[in-house]
A and B are shown apart, each in its own frame.
Chain A
Amino acid sequence: MENSTDKNVTGSLKEIAKGIRRGILTSIYTAKSGHYGSSLSWADIAATLFFHEMKLNERDSRATLVNSSVEISDSSKRDIFVLSKGHGAPTLYSAISILNPEYVSQEDLLTLRKMGSPLQGHPVRKSLPLVDASTGSLGQGLSLAAGIAYAIKQKKENRRVYVLLGDGEIQEGQNWEAFMSSVNLGLDNLTIIVDKNKCQLEGFIGERMPLENLPSILSEFGFYVQCIDGHDISQILNSYENAREISQRNGKPSLIIADTTKGKGVSLMEREPWKWHSKLLDEEDYSIAMEELKWKN
């Protein structure tokens, strides 16, 4: 617990999250197409997952890079992440670019959504190291992650699977099949994170398909449920740790509902989050947003 709240750790993760946000903005602005709001909302979750929580291969982190040539990271020896809300892909690409610029360089980020680029509009498995599943059709990612977790247990390996769902995405019925079976199959190596940014494409979830009692419903399903502030680094880190420990104790997957803001980190989006599912920035607003996310030391 001490490590999680270590000020140096949270401080550097905050800076990493900011870097991820800059990459999101640059790539989507250049592509002139993409989902700013849905990408920015999980930047803190991405920073904490990839730079603290997940066990990755040595070559995945630039801190240990020694003249390495770029090879696809061997996914069979590390933890796995499935981005079920595939439209949040720019966050994943940006996080990978900070993790290891040999995987995704700053120039690569500018190829988002271009023909032939590995940075496809929605994630394509194996297009880049650490892109572990093709997603984008909402509702399938949790089942994919559950299948991966099941296979890892079959192989008796000590690896964990993380999956990020959108809160709008939960409207897809397949999630509820997967909620049921992942508990029933005792997938204690699975952590499910819900990016609760409260908006879907056409507006507020609360005005379309409100599900305010989600935590209690999922507790009834058998999950250990934690509700946290999805932008508070130490809360996120603690929740990962609790999820791991309690899963191992109760033999079930764990679920974290992370309360987030669509467009987090960019004030003009935070003011009107419902507008920023896939709306684009003009030049002036882009400069203002990038100024806000500038590296300040």
Chain B
Amino acid sequence: MEELNRVATRDGFGKSLLRNGDDPRIIVFGCDLTGATKTNEFAKKFPDRFCEVGIQEQNAISMAGGVAIEGLRPVIPSFGAFITSRAYEQILVSLGYNDVGALVVGTHSGLAIGKDGQTQMGITDINVMRGIPRMEIFQPADAREAQQITDYLLKTNNLAYLRLSRTPSPLVLPEEHKFEFNKATVLREGRDLTFIASGDTVYNSLMAAEELHKEGVESSVISISTLKPIDEETILNYAKRSRCIVVVEDHSIVGGLGTIVSEIIAKNGVGVPMKSIGIEGFGESGAPEDLYKKHGLDIEGILRTSLNFYKNARQKDLFFK
């Protein structure tokens, strides 16, 4: 694959927000992070509908609940680490129990932010958000899809969490790709192994799949951008026809995409071997590429893990047959 343009998904969000900014229903909250969350252009162009509350994630979420009660569309961006954990109960009560819609946006997800270190990394955000009834979860594979998902979410009244990254990543989806709610995107077809990935890890999974091909192993790559609800049909389809599944995500291996996929496989009684590659333990400071390497999320790491896992799965299969 040729070298692609790199853009962070947060930039796609900021672009969409600006483009849809004329909608008088949209109220954007600021928690002293307009630059980091890419809301600065909106704030400049629509100052009347930009509500800066300072470093107050809890108050921002509950105020957003009030704004939504009045029929407007609140958008509350902050670091994923802060907004989903510091303000968890406010999301549950002020948004969830109050039966309103809102767009909660968590940027700076995962190890990918690198040097700022562990307290700044959202590594449990999918886990905590998915327990809230009605909460939908989205994570774009690239900046173009981030823009499309934001376009979609600004027009609905859903209660949603949008997980974004700061790190510039390749525009991995084909230019003609159009985001569809609750629809998985199959980027590559191969009968032996299926990668299921989301966000920044889609590109590395695709690269690992190419390397696997050189080793004689053919793999499918599925990108998941709607994590809740989720396209069970596509996942099951590939779970049934592949010898094994490898989930790749820049999130704790507890409660993220790996957990979601394993639940789908278990409850449907599909006996396919499955492996999760993600963050084990806490994050730390370092160059993003070094952190990815340490947790096996780099191309080389994904290749190594998946190849071994595939060989083991195949051996067991042959043995039992």
* Residues of chain A whose beta carbon lies under 8 Å from any beta carbon of chain B: 75-76, 124-126, 132-137, 140, 143-152, 154-155, 173-174, 177-178, 180-181, 184-185
Contacts of A185 in B (CB 8 A): 51, 53
Q: Does B27 contact A (CB under 8 A)?
A: yes
Q: Does B222 contact A (CB under 8 A)?
A: no
- Are the C-beta atoms of A181 and B63 separated by less than 8 Å? yes
Name the residue among A125, A132, A136, A154 with the largest chain B CB count within 10 angstroms: A154
- Are the C-beta atoms of B66 and A143 separated by less than 8 Å? yes
Task: Assign chain B's interface to a size class.
Answer: 20 to 34
- Are the C-beta atoms of B53 and A125 separated by less than 8 Å? no
Name the residue among A126, A133, A147 with the largest chain B CB count within 10 angstroms: A147
Main SS class of interface, A: helix
User: Given the complex of chains A and B, what is the CA–CA distance between A145 and B61 in angstroms?
Assistant: 12
5 nearest CB pairs, A to B: A147-B66, A143-B62, A151-B70, A147-B63, A177-B59
Name the residue among A126, A144, A181 with the largest chain B CB count within 10 angstroms: A144
User: With contacts A134-B93, A152-B70 known, is A181 near B53, CB below 8 A?
Assistant: yes
* Residues of chain B whose beta carbon lies under 8 Å from any beta carbon of chain A: 27, 48-49, 51, 53-54, 56, 58-59, 61-72, 74, 89-90, 93-94, 97-99
User: Given the complex of chains A and B, what is the CA–CA distance between A143 and B48 in angstroms?
Assistant: 19
Of all chain B residues, the one with the shortest Cβ separation from A174 is B58
* Cross-interface CB contact of A178 among B59, B64, B99, cutoff 8 Å: B59
User: Given the complex of chains A and B, what is the CA–CA distance between A75 and B90 in angstroms?
Assistant: 23
- Are the C-beta atoms of B59 and A125 separated by less than 8 Å? no
User: With contacts A134-B99, A137-B89, A180-B54 known, is A148 near B62, CB below 8 A?
Assistant: no
Contacts of A124 in B (CB 8 A): 97
**What are 10 contact pairs spanning A and B, CB under 8 A?**
A125-B97, A133-B98, A140-B62, A143-B65, A143-B94, A150-B66, A151-B69, A152-B70, A174-B58, A177-B53
Contacts of A184 in B (CB 8 A): 54
User: With contacts A154-B48, A181-B54 known, is A134 near B97, CB below 8 A?
Assistant: yes
User: Given the complex of chains A and B, what is the CA–CA distance between A140 and B58 in angstroms?
Assistant: 8
Contacts of A132 in B (CB 8 A): 69
User: With contacts A134-B97, A144-B94 known, is A125 near B49, CB below 8 A?
Assistant: no
